[in-house]
């Protein structure tokens, strides 16, 4: 059974519909990440589940029970929100113990739970330290320990690693995933960073303007973005208007091969960078000039200006084979990296 269920939940701020009939479930032990651009309603969704923002329509259910009228502190949630900073006047142990003290947990039980949590987040000796002496990553771990302390049935994280630098985020995201798996935690997290969401989540939810536009496993969403908005949001640049006729799509770049069975008619087409194959310009049908190269660890991303017009291509290429900036290249497309997007004008 789903631990959390949002059944057509809407939230209004005055005239503005910040959540528009959102449907979403989170199963016991599952991590779901909500992803979307600024203002798409991610934080509002968390606040509605937490009972911090009133729901204008629909229902939030936890373990099958409608939460209407249930105050935030009685919902059994662990919150780690951007605006819930650590208490600077308390030491680390005092911060972690906060929720337990509020529930009048006996002192010895508090002390042993705090020690257990400090161990869990990898800071076994940090209990007496002042919060101000911790690094950003350590503070984040303490905030997580504080949210976990009362044993919440659902852990809700708003931009859990938002303030930290990229290196630390990438490390912590792996640690978090392992920790949640070990504890069997049920997690609803919000982030605007797709890498973070894809690394952490069993399923991702992509939001736009208060609506859920796609829901699926990271692999599903990555391989088959629901529409051009999701594709662009994920960072894909090669998205163009097209008209599919049989095994070919007419595009501003000329005809592109499309996978068998693609529905005929007007649409948008995504070509993954790995599907833009570069060769020598000699004898090639389509040609272009390399405008830029960006190193991405084991491969290079190239920006290529088509000589025949149309938007630039983004191509990924092995380090050794990457042409120089200014080089003329031939271009072909791999049909399996061409995705026909069902999006229409209204989803752009
Ligand atoms: N208290 C409020 N009063 C009025 N409008 C609000 C309020 N809080 C949020 N909004 C509006 O509701 C919409 C959704 O906001 P929300 O904070 O949920 O977005 P978000 O996706 O979390 O954005 P970000 O990534 O920037 O944090 C936005 O248009 C925002 O301006």
Question: Which pLDDT band, with edges at 50, 70 and 90, does 336 fall under?
Answer: confident
Distance 41 CA to ligand 1 centre (A): 6
Decide if pLDDT at 213 tops 90. Answer: yes
Of ligand 1's atoms, which has the minimum distance to the CA of residue 41?
18
Of ligand 1's atoms, which has the minimum distance to the CA of residue 36?
21
Question: Which pLDDT band, with edges at 50, 70 and 90, does 343 fall under?
Answer: low
Q: State residue 84's pLDDT score.
A: 65
Structure tokens at 176: 């978090």
Of ligand 1's atoms, which has the minimum distance to the CA of residue 190?
22
Task: Give the C-alpha separation, 187 to 27, whole Å.
Answer: 9
Distance 43 CA to ligand 1 centre (A): 7
Structure tokens at 72: 């935030």
Of ligand 1's atoms, which has the minimum distance to the CA of residue 44?
18
Question: Which pLDDT band, with edges at 50, 70 and 90, does 335 fall under?
Answer: confident
Residue nearest to atom 14 of ligand 1 (CA): 41
Which strands sit side by side in the sheet containing 313-318, from one edge to the other? 276-280, 328-333, 286-296, 299-306, 313-318
- Neighbouring residues of 73: CB distance < 8 A, sequence distance ≥ 6: 102
Q: State residue 200's pLDDT score.
A: 93
User: What would the mean pLDDT of 135-161 be, rounded to a whole number?
Assistant: 89
For 233, list phi and psi in degrees, rounded to 5: -60, -35
Distance 52 CA to ligand 1 centre (A): 13
CB-defined site of ligand 1, < 6 Å: 13, 16, 18, 36, 38-44, 192
Task: Give the C-alpha separation, 187 to 202, whole Å.
Answer: 10
Distance 39 CA to ligand 1 centre (A): 5
Whole-number Cα distances in Å, 37 to 9, 14, 210, 233, 347: 19, 21, 11, 8, 15
Find, among 147, 140, 216, the residue nearest to 186 by Cα.
147
Residue nearest to atom 30 of ligand 1 (CA): 39
The tens digit of pLDDT for each residue in 166-190 reads 777 888 888 889 989 988 999 999 9
DSSP-H helix ranges across the chain = 42-50, 92-102, 107-120, 136-148, 166-183, 194-200, 218-223, 228-233
- Neighbouring residues of 110: CB distance < 8 A, sequence distance ≥ 6: 97, 100, 101
Task: Give the C-alpha separation, 13 to 19, whole Å.
Answer: 10
Whole-number Cα distances in Å, 279 to 315, 324, 338: 12, 13, 18
For ligand 1, mutation pick of 6, 16, 196 (most atoms within 8 Å of CB):
16
Find, among 214, 174, 238, the residue nearest to 35 by Cα.
214
Beta carbons of 286 and 330 less than 8 angstroms apart: yes
Mean pLDDT for all residues in the chain: 90
CA angle 147-177-272, nearest 5°? 130
Task: Give the C-alpha separation, 147 to 81, whole Å.
Answer: 10
Whole-number Cα distances in Å, 201 to 33, 35, 178, 325: 6, 11, 11, 37
Beta carbons of 190 and 201 less than 8 angstroms apart: no
Distance 40 CA to ligand 1 centre (A): 7
Distance 16 CA to ligand 1 centre (A): 10
Q: Is 29 left (phi over 0), alpha (psi -120 to 50) or beta?
A: left
């Amino acid at each position: 059974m789903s631990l959390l269920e949002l059944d057509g939940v809407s939230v209004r701020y005055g005239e503005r519909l910040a959540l528009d009939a959102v449907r979403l479930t989170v199963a016991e032990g599952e991590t779901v990440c909500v992803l979307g651009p600024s203002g798409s309603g991610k934080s509002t969704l968390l606040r509605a589940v937490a009972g911090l923002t009133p729901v204008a329509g629909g229902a939030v259910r936890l373990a099958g029970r409608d939460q209407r009228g249930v105050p935030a502190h009685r919902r059994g949630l662990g919150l780690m929100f951007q605006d819930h900073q650590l208490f600077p006047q308390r030491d680390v142990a005092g911060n972690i113990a906060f929720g337990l003290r509020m529930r009048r947990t006996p002192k010895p039980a508090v002390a042993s739970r705090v020690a257990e949590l400090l161990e869990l987040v990898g800071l076994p000796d940090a209990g007496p330290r002042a919060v101000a002496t911790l690094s950003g990553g350590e503070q984040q771990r303490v905030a997580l320990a504080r949210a976990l302390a009362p044993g919440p049935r659902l852990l809700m994280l708003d931009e859990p690693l938002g303030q930290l630098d990229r290196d630390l985020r990438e490390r912590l995201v792996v640690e978090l995933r392992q920790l949640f798996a070990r504890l069997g935690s049920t997690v609803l997290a919000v982030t605007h960073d797709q890498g973070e969401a894809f690394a952490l989540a069993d399923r991702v939810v992509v939001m736009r303007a208060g609506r859920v536009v796609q829901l699926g496993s990271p692999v599903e969403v990555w391989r088959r973005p629901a529409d051009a908005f999701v594709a662009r949001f994920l960072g894909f640049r090669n998205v163009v208007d097209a008209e599919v006729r049989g095994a070919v799509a007419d595009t501003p770049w000329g005809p592109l091969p499309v996978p068998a069975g693609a529905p005929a008619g007007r649409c948008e087409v995504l070509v993954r960078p790995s599907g833009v194959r570069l060769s020598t310009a000699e004898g090639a049908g389509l040609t272009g000039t390399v405008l830029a190269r960006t190193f991405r660890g084991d491969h290079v991303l190239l920006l290529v200006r088509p000589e025949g017009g149309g938007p630039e291509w983004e191509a990924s290429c092995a380090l050794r084979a990457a042409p120089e900036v200014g080089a003329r290249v031939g271009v072909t497309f791999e049909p399996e990296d061409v995705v026909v997007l069902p999006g229409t004008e209204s989803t752009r």
